[in-house]
Structure 1
Amino acid sequence: MGGFLGFCYRQLTFKPKSLPTTISLEGKTALITGANSGLGLEAARELVAHKLSRLIIAVRDVSKGEAAKKSILESTKSTCEIEVWPLDYDFYDSIIEFQKRIEGLDRLDYALLNAGVKMMHYSTSPLGHETNVQINHLGTSAVSLVVLPTLKRTAQKLNSPVRLTIVSSEGHFWIPFKERTADNILKRMNDQETFGTQMQRYYTTKLLNVLWTRELSSKVPAGTIIINTVNPGFCYSGLHRHESSGIIKIFLWMFGWSSAEGGYCLTNALIQQENSHGKYLSEQRQTPPSPFVLSSEGQDVQQKVWRETIALLKEEAPGLDSSAVSPNIA
């Protein structure tokens, strides 16, 4: 894993498989963030096609979420109860309101945190953090904590584990992550001089997703919530909309999977892969993450990123449930 030639070979030779037709999700509730388009939409469509009873689409733009809902119901001819909830990772008030709604659910069997951005040029969020860091890491981490209590309650009620999957990327293999030596990694990543070129910052935040998932899973018993992270492959989707050079279009034409195939990778990680707690999934199987992640330095950085993230959320989003941002979740 991780090499460019290997990446090209796998993109050309591996074909993601849809969920087996025998799988029924009747009676279950799923949440997908960023499900108004692309891979998230296709993952939602597949879950609904497998008789999911309730789906929550959490999106920044509710009108786009409603359009996605209509598309899913029309294509699947399903009677699934689909709800569109607003959720904007740029604003902690939005995440706190989302938290209140999640707490009101009677059950939550599956949570797929798919929302993300790939900004090619430096910009900052309304909260002052670099945009990729805010959306892909801080927002995703906050929402992962927010959904945990309801997931845990569901697991206890059913006496069976539930699932949380965070979307990452094979690109986490490919970046130098020079910020790892900073006194405060997340603060250093706000500095424009660290942004790097092309997709380096995006891939760094995907590395943060892997580190966060591994640390979070270490604090949650596998028999309660199965937490994993998935590389969906290189796919046609709106994620690439900020890339203007045309290179991505050429690579997509040569190597890209369809959005539906990328969605298959997401649903495989979320629904199948039962023994995947704390694991990194790629090509619909468990594979080792990058050598850095597995190194002793990577493990130290993983814990440092966790501590910094928890401290930052406590400072900037004090309205979040205090138990959700506790360093001792289990």
Structure 2
Amino acid sequence: MRIKKLVAAGIAAAAVATALAGCSQASSASTSGGSGKIVVVGAENEYSDVAAQIGGKYVSAKAIMSDPNTDPHTFEASASVAKELSTAQLVVQNGVGYDDFMAKLEAASPNKNRTVIVAQKVLGLPDSTENPHLWYDPTTMPAVAKTIAADLGKIQPSHKSYFTSQLAAFDASLKTWTDQLATFKQSHANTPVAVTEPVADYMLQAAGIDIKTPWSLQAAIMNDTDPSPQDSATQDAFFTGKSIKVFLYNQQVTDSITSHFLSLAHSSGIPVVGVYETMPTGYTYQKWMEAELTALQNAITSGQSTEKL
């Protein structure tokens, strides 16, 4: 696989089938989760959070990937995950190869009442899209949220106006982040930074940041392969030469290579910002994005590191 992400956990079809044993007989009676609420499952908790905000009191939302303190690449299917998915009326996932395990789980647990939203398809992105971390792109969640509201309205037509109202409130709440991005770009455009993986690249690009790290190095680390000696030397020089203002790294996934860059940042006095693939505890999606941007601004303006949110 091109992307090491969640697919790299090695979820074989046989393992999925085992995890789903006894769960594939989801009855149509489960369509309201036994409580009158629409059962929604997000592959990643940032998507389930948005679904919960749109669905409000008429939705019960859960996430398969929800622990920001663990490596998301080590996910493995389980009976509990299978059970959650078997009763879901609406599933929201990322696509672009990031969470391909979802297709296996869905195929092994068919449910005629289930609607699946894939962010990649909502955005019209090709499979060849290099960076799968779509939730950091400011254009992603408004489009996904709009689709969620529409599909919830189809599942419970009597509450369609409620979902539309919730969508409007969600869109309005994103304005703080998007306004911050615009202001940041005016003040700090072309600020040079280094990264490990392209986790937050979409946000950095929207903020006008100059990402110095070669894409080939980012892709190598993302795909769990060793970067070339040339790329590693280029990256090292950013720290020793102090030609970057901030170092951003994937706080959830570290190895000897990323630890080396982190050590260089510390010894060179380069402020560090940790970014996440799984939404940290205590945040909504929009507050998470605001916090990451604030951490970046603090690093640039005052040299403050925020390695953990």
TM-score by length of 2: 0.31
TM-score when normalising by structure 1? 0.30
Structure scoring higher RCO (CA < 8 A, sep ≥ 6) equals 1
Q: Which structure has the larger Rg? A: 2
